[in-house]
């Protein structure tokens, strides 16, 4: 198919191409079969005529009556398919014969004394009552090229038409399929790009908000802490000068207030990431087990805990801060369970897609069966000073401090919650790829 | 239309001879070609005649001759190596008065009085051939303008139980047909 450019051939679906080839082959076979059939019929017809001539010319041949023989030969040439007819004696020499004008003359001797039939000539014996008398020879007219071509033309035309239809259809279908394919691919790409952008924008907004709040509150907490230390120092000097007893109730009250205020500033500093952390290699499972008593005393009698500690990888965190955060979340869970329930603490190893590359994380989850959060509360839960608790009971710094700490430690924090369906707080911390853990992996 | 083979040969008598000497050589001999052609014609009638009796397989085809003339003398020579329906040809010269048993064809030479012989074989399935004018065998060989031809008495043949092919009748100069053609 040289008339097709390379491009079009490449675009052609294979099924269409195979169909076209099959049709072409079928066309060739049909033409071949037609030709064979035609030739056989033609030879058969000629054989019939030769046999008739052989039967009628026998006496004339036997007695060498050339004129009589010629009378039998002449009508043969009425058939345009016969180019020449000859009557040969038993020894193969020509008795008489006729050839069409312009045609090749009859040979004076038969080349071989045997009966034969092919597409161009035939020889049949002349036999009378079992006695061989000679031979009849017929030469068939070469078929005019126009007649022959007209026989093939229909088949060839049909095959070509079929091929063109198939090629056309295949092309159109292929183009359509490619268009819709690329269209849906583009659409999917667009969708995922939009989603990705929305997520990134949301994260950016959140981190900007946190950053601004952190700077503001961090500055305040820092200065406040300094002022508190001044108040505390002066209070001690005053106590000495007034030589008040150590157990003075008012002094104790003031000290307690200073201690609480200092603790608060620490939490604010923790949230604003201005806190100095001392991260060490930590096994989260051991950490949780070590907090067992603390957790139990923080919860009421009607709350069960069930730990599932399956993480194998270790993390790099400040242990004190980590304990504080776990305690905060457990206390949140207790507050969400006024009528009792269950708090599940679990750890396990997960792999997250971290900007294209998958990375190992240790996941700590604290799930309660409590009141849960509405979507609005959930959206603001990480905000500093956001609380739904009565004044004096909650500061709204628990989750925001945790958020600050976890992100500062290179991790992520997520909330999964619905009203009346409980809350699950997830903390992802980057798994520490130490020699020990990888060895442990291999042995385990 | 070109008529091939229409070129007239000068020695017309040689036309019917197959496997014999070419005409130039034949013409040089003392035997006239006319007699050679006549002798060759006798066995050539055989394929066009149907005899009522079927010979035993492998039995020779017997051509008998009675009397002597130039044709009868040539008979063994012209039939040598020839076959009729795959059967070899046997030539038998009958003595005067010898019954023509097994004879399919009987040539009555010009030396004998044909009338008596013909009467004797009448009713027997024997194809009688004569060559002397006025002898009236079933086949009468004649010479017309240097060309050997024959007359056929199909009526007589039918009486003797012989059937002669219409192809042969078509080649004859004259045909005496039976009053009621044999079915
Ligand atoms: N487990 C939970 N179930 C339901 N609501 C929760 C849960 N944890 C937090 N919340 C909601 O998120 C708010 C913010 O919690 P966060 O720990 O930051 O502050 P708080 O608990 O209100 O105060 P603080 O922890 O400073 O004493 C809570 O007031 C509460 O409405
Ligand atoms: Mg809290």
* Residue of A68, A97, A128 with shortest CB distance to B171: A68
pTM score above 0.90: no
Calculate Rg over the CA atoms of chain A.
Answer: 54
d(CA B175, CA B138): 10
For residue A316 the two structure tokens come to 């790099």
Work out whether the CA dihedral A389, A395, A401, A403 comes out positive or negative. Answer: positive
Angle between helices B33-44 and B70-79 (to 10 degrees): 60
Listed ranges A10-14, A159-163, A377-381; the one with the highest mean pLDDT: A377-381
The number of C-alpha atoms within 13 Å of A421 and in the hemisphere containing its C-beta is 8
* Contact of A157 with A149, CB cutoff 8 Å: no
- Flag whether the ipTM exceeds 0.90: no
CB-based pocket (< 6 A), ligand 1: A 328, 332-333, 336, 368, 370-373, 377, 381, 386-389, 394-400, 423
Mean local confidence (pLDDT), A241-256: 82
Backbone torsions φ then ψ of A86, nearest 5 degrees: -135, 150
Q: Which residue among A370, A381, A402 is best mutated to probe the pocket of ligand 1, counting the most ligand atoms within 8 A of its Cβ?
A: A381
* Rounded Cα distance, A316 and A320, in Å: 12
CA distance A53 to A173: 63
Ligand 2 centre to CA of B154 (Å) is 144
CA–centroid distance, A255 to ligand 1, in Å, is 28
DSSP for A353-376? EETTEEEEEEEEEEEE-S----HH
CATH number for the B32-176 domain, one of 3.40.50.2300, 3.40.50.970, 3.40.50.720, 3.40.50.620?
Answer: 3.40.50.2300
Chain A contacts in chain B segment 35-94 (CB below 8 A):
41, 44, 46-48, 50, 83-86
Q: Is pLDDT of A11 > 70?
A: no
- pLDDT for residue B129 is more than 70: yes
Whether residue A130 and residue B170 make contact (CB cut-off 8 A), yes or no, is no
Q: In this predicted model, what pLDDT tens digit does every residue of B144-170 receive, in sequence order?
A: 888 899 999 999 999 999 999 999 999
pLDDT per residue over A177-228, tens digit each?
Answer: 899 999 999 999 999 999 999 988 988 887 788 778 777 787 788 788 888 8
Angle at Cα A348 formed by Cα A345 and Cα A364, nearest 5°? 45
Say if strands B147-153 and B174-176 run parallel, antiparallel, or are unpaired: parallel
Mean pLDDT of chain A: 85
The domains found in chain A, sorted by start residue, are: 3-143 (3.30.450.20), 277-443 (3.30.565.10)
């Amino acid at each position: 198919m040289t008339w097709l450019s390379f491009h079009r051939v490449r675009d052609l679906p294979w099924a269409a191409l195979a169909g076209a080839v099959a049709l072409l082959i079928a066309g060739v076979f049909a033409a071949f079969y037609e030709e064979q059939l035609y030739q056989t019929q033609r030879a058969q017809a000629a054989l019939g005529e030769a046999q008739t001539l052989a039967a009628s010319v026998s006496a004339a041949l036997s007695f060498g009556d050339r004129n009589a023989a010629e009378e039998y030969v002449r009508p043969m040439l009425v058939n345009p398919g016969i180019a020449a007819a000859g009557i040969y004696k038993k020894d193969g020499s020509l008795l008489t014969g006729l050839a069409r004008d312009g045609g090749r003359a009859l040979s004076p001797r038969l080349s071989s004394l045997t009966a034969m039939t092919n597409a161009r000539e035939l020889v049949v014996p002349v036999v009378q009552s079992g006695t061989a008398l000679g031979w009849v020879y017929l030469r068939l007219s070469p078929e005019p090229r126009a007649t022959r071509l007209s026989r093939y033309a229909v088949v060839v035309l049909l095959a070509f038409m079929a091929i063109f239809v198939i090629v056309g259809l295949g092309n159109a279908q292929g183009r359509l399929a490619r268009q819709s394919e690329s269209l849906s691919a583009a659409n999917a790409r667009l969708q995922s790009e939009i989603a990705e952008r929305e997520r990134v924008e949301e994260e950016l907004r959140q981190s900007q908000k946190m950053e601004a709040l952190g700077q503001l509150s961090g500055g305040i907490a820092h200065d406040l802490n300094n002022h508190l230390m001044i108040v505390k120092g002066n209070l001690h000097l005053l106590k000495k000068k007034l030589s008040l007893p150590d157990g003075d109730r008012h002094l104790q009250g003031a000290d307690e207030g200073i201690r609480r205020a200092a603790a608060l500033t620490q939490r604010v500093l923790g949230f604003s990431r201005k806190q100095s952390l001392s991260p060490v290699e930590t096994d989260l499972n051991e950490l949780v087990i070590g907090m067992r008593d603390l957790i139990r005393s923080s919860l009421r009698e009607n709350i069960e805990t069930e730990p599932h500690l399956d993480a194998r990888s270790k993390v790099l965190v400040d242990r004190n801060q980590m304990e504080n955060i776990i305690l905060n979340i457990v206390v949140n869970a207790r507050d969400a369970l006024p009528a009792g329930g269950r708090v599940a603490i679990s750890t396990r190893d997960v792999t997250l897609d971290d900007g294209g590359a998958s990375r190992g994380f240790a996941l700590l989850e604290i799930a309660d069966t409590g009141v849960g959060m509405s979507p609005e509360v959930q959206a603001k839960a990480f905000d500093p000073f956001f609380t739904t608790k009565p004044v004096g009971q909650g500061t709204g710094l628990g989750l925001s401090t945790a958020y600050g700490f976890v992100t500062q430690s290179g991790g992520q924090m997520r909330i999964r919650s619905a009203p009346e369906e409980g809350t699950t707080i997830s903390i992802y911390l980057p798994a520490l790829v130490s020699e020990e853990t990888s060895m442990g992996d291999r042995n385990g | 239309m070109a008529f091939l083979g229409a070129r007239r040969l000068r020695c017309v008598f040689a036309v019917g001879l197959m496997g014999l000497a070419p005409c130039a050589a034949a013409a040089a001999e003392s035997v006239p070609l006319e007699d050679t052609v006549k002798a060759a014609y006798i066995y050539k009638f055989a394929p066009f005649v149907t005899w009522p009796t079927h010979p035993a397989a492998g039995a020779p085809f017997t051509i008998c001759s009675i009397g002597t003339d130039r044709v009868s003398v040539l008979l063994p020579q012209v039939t040598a190596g020839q076959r009729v329906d795959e059967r070899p040809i046997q030539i038998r010269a009958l003595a005067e008065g010898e019954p023509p048993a097994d004879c399919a064809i009987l040539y009555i030479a010009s030396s004998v009085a044909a009338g008596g012989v013909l009467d004797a074989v009448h009713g027997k399935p024997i194809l009688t051939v004569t060559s002397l004018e006025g002898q009236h065998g079933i086949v009468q060989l004649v010479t017309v303008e240097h060309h050997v031809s024959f007359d056929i008495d199909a009526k007589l043949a039918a009486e003797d139980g012989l059937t002669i092919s219409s192809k042969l009748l078509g080649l004859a100069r004259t045909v005496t047909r039976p009053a009621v053609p044999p079915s």
